Amino acid sequence: MNIIFTVVAAPLIGWLVRSRTGAVAITLAAQSLLFTFQTLAVLLAWMADERGFGGASESGAFGPAPTTFPISYSEADFWAYGLLNLTLVVVSLALTIAFSHLRARRSAKPERVA
């Protein structure tokens, strides 16, 4: 979800929103909603013992599905998930700002040389 947003929507937001600050705010707001929804979807799929995308994974998202509480999980997977999503947010912001800058340069009137 976040990868698709980063590749498709972030550049479009940067290109279509006139204010760079507004484009960054919209991108951050959308990313925060997507991150929350994606995290819940991954967590529920793991707890329901569903397999990975297309059923390819042997042990679900974070290892075997929990059978008791408190849930045991790999701390490395926890930090990797957070780092991956932080990277996606940074790349998304960079694309938004780059496309906003590109749009501003294209719409600027060229200077006349005498």
Distance CA 106, CA 46 (A): 47
Q: Answer yes or no: is pLDDT of 71 > 80.
A: no
Spatial contact of 33 and 99, defined as CB atoms under 8 Å apart: no
CA dihedral (76, 66, 2, 57) positive or negative: positive
Residue 51 confidence class, pLDDT cut points 50, 70, 90: low
Mean pLDDT of 99-107: 90
Distance CA 40, CA 103 (A): 35
Q: Answer yes or no: is pLDDT of 52 > 60.
A: no
Q: Over pLDDT 70: what percentage of the chain?
A: 86
Residue 97 confidence class, pLDDT cut points 50, 70, 90: very high
Q: What is the CB neighbour count within 10 angstroms for residue 56?
A: 7
R_g of the chain, CA atoms, integer Å: 20
User: Which position has the token pair 């995308």?
Assistant: 53
- Residue 100's pLDDT is 93
Q: Answer yes or no: is pLDDT of 29 > 90.
A: yes
